[in-house]
Structure 1
Amino acid sequence: MPIRKILITMIIGMLLVACDGFNQPIIETQFGDQHFKTSIALIELHKVRTGDYPAELSDLQYIGDWDTIALSSVEYKKLIEGYELNVIRGWVGTPELSYDPNFWQGLGLKQSNVQTSNIQKGPSQ
């Protein structure tokens, strides 16, 4: 019986995705926002604990199972000062995110594909 419930849930989920009333841009934004913020939190926590930003995301320690989903949805590059973080996936596509300039205060995030007037755009340095 549990397998039957799982199959029914999956079918309902697939029908919702195919439904015209399903608002994919909102879902993309919600997932992208969560992935981006979770990744920033993990990267900044690593800096607090070790004194430096990770060379790669695989250097992060003590991450949860759900964190791996967020980390697989971003591209990370350590820069000479700080880091670059780009959102590459929300739920199934690439979301368009935008944050208030205050969001960026105190972060080592220097470049991103996320919209804001407070960080540099363009190729990595």
Structure 2
Amino acid sequence: MKNIAVIAIVLALTSSCFPENMGKEMGNALGKMQQMLADQNFKRAISHIELYKIRHGKYPPSIDSLEFINPMDSSFLRSVEYIPMDSVYGLNLTHYSSRMKKDLSYPDEFWEGLGCSESNMK
């Protein structure tokens, strides 16, 4: 209990050292970083899915079928929902906010030549 009181006092004293708008700026920066990571994960998923098609002549039956994913790239597996279809696939970004959906969009040219026929990012 004493530790919590000390932490609260330290925070109260140091919070006056920062400009008022710093919290808002930090929140905006964090939001942009989350958006960049979501974009990167979405594009990584598409890249691995399309590479699978080039190698095997068809899209993977599941996201777990993707090959040669190193640990640094594996984060996208938790960020997308892959929906296999007959000759195309669906891909949804699962971890995003409504603000991110508004700010993170792809032009029609991005989708050309891809087998991704359905997505919550279209």
TM-score normalized with structure 1 length: 0.70
- Residues in 2 aligned to 1:102 and 1:21: alpha-carbon distance in whole angstroms: 33
Give 1:89's aligned amino acid: H
Larger Rg: 2
Aligned counterpart, 2:46:
40
Q: CA deviation at 1:20?
A: 3.0
1:21 matched to 2:25: yes
Percent identity (aligned):
36
Q: 1:55 aligns with which of 61, 81, 95?
A: 61
Q: CA deviation at 1:81?
A: 2.3
- Please give the residue correspondences for 1:42-121 in structure 2 after superposition, counting only pairs within 5 Å: 42-89=48-95, 95-96=100-101, 97-115=104-122
Say what the alpha-carbon RMSD is for the aligned residues.
Answer: 1.8
- Residues in 1 aligned to 2:86 and 2:95: alpha-carbon distance in whole angstroms: 26
Q: Structure 1 unaligned runs (5+)?
A: 1-17, 116-125
Larger fraction in helix: 2
After TM superposition, what 4+ stretches of structure 1 lie above 2 angstroms from structure 2?
A: none
Q: CA deviation at 1:38?
A: 0.4
